Amino acid sequence: MTVGQNTIQSKLLRGIVEEIEKVEEQMKDLRDRKGEIMARAKAEGLTPAGIRYVVKARKMKPHDREEAETIRDTYMHAMGMAEEPPLFRAMQKMAEDELSREKLIEHFKLMCPPKGEVIVKVGGDPVRIYRDLDGRPQAEPYVDQPHASAAAPKPSTMSTGRAREVPDVDEDGAYEYGRSMYRQNKPVTENPFPYGDPRRARCDEGYRDESGDDGMGDD
């Protein structure tokens, strides 16, 4: 396209250039305004760096922010820039606050790794804390049951998770149960068999065979 003076194209070009110049001027005014706000905050005793971090953190999803902060603290400890691992600091703070069992479990749920689980014993029976496929932390009673013939765990009565009944099946039945879980569009984390029970592994195996993957999504 040829742009000459006093043509329709030249008028279009001039309008676009002037519009961009107005936007850049507005951006400059906004930057100046932001600087004035930061200066006022500093004069009131607030730290600009802290404000910038909070502004950035508020744009993140809570789960993403918690994961980023945990990784940051872990790496700082690994580099010798922090004396204690973040988990130890969090546990010390919880002990100082003298929190109840329920509140302690809620705090541990926030510290649960994105892909993993934590078994804790706080003022009672052990509790398994894990994240579901949507990244939400969950908690359920944990029973270390080495043999399938041992008594099945009691259904959960905690408000933090759904009660799970253990099917009365053998290992082959657990395999078929896992396959049916996938067909019913249930997440693999709803495996009802307790840890240490060989039927749990068979249930996972059936789920994987039916779905074609491990049911946990991409790494």
Q: Quick: pLDDT tens for 176-216.
A: 998 988 888 888 788 899 888 889 989 889 888 888 754 44
Compute the mean pLDDT over every residue in the chain, rounded to the nearest whole number. Answer: 78
Q: Where are the alpha helices (DSSP H) in the chain?
A: 8-43, 48-58, 62-78, 86-97, 101-111, 171-183, 198-211
Predicted confidence band of residue 159 (pLDDT cuts 50, 70, 90):
very low
Distance CA 107, CA 130 (A): 13
pLDDT at 18: 95
154/158: higher pLDDT: 154
% of the chain beyond a pLDDT of 70: 74
pLDDT at 164: 63
Residue 137's Cβ-count burial label (10 Å; 0-12, 13-18, 19+) is buried
Contacts with 92 (C-beta within 8 Å, 6 or more apart), sequence order: 84
105/66: higher pLDDT: 66
- Report, as an integer, the average pLDDT of 78-95: 66
Residue 193's Cβ-count burial label (10 Å; 0-12, 13-18, 19+) is buried
The arrangement of strands across the sheet holding 117-120 comes to 117-120, 127-131, 137-141
113/86: higher pLDDT: 113
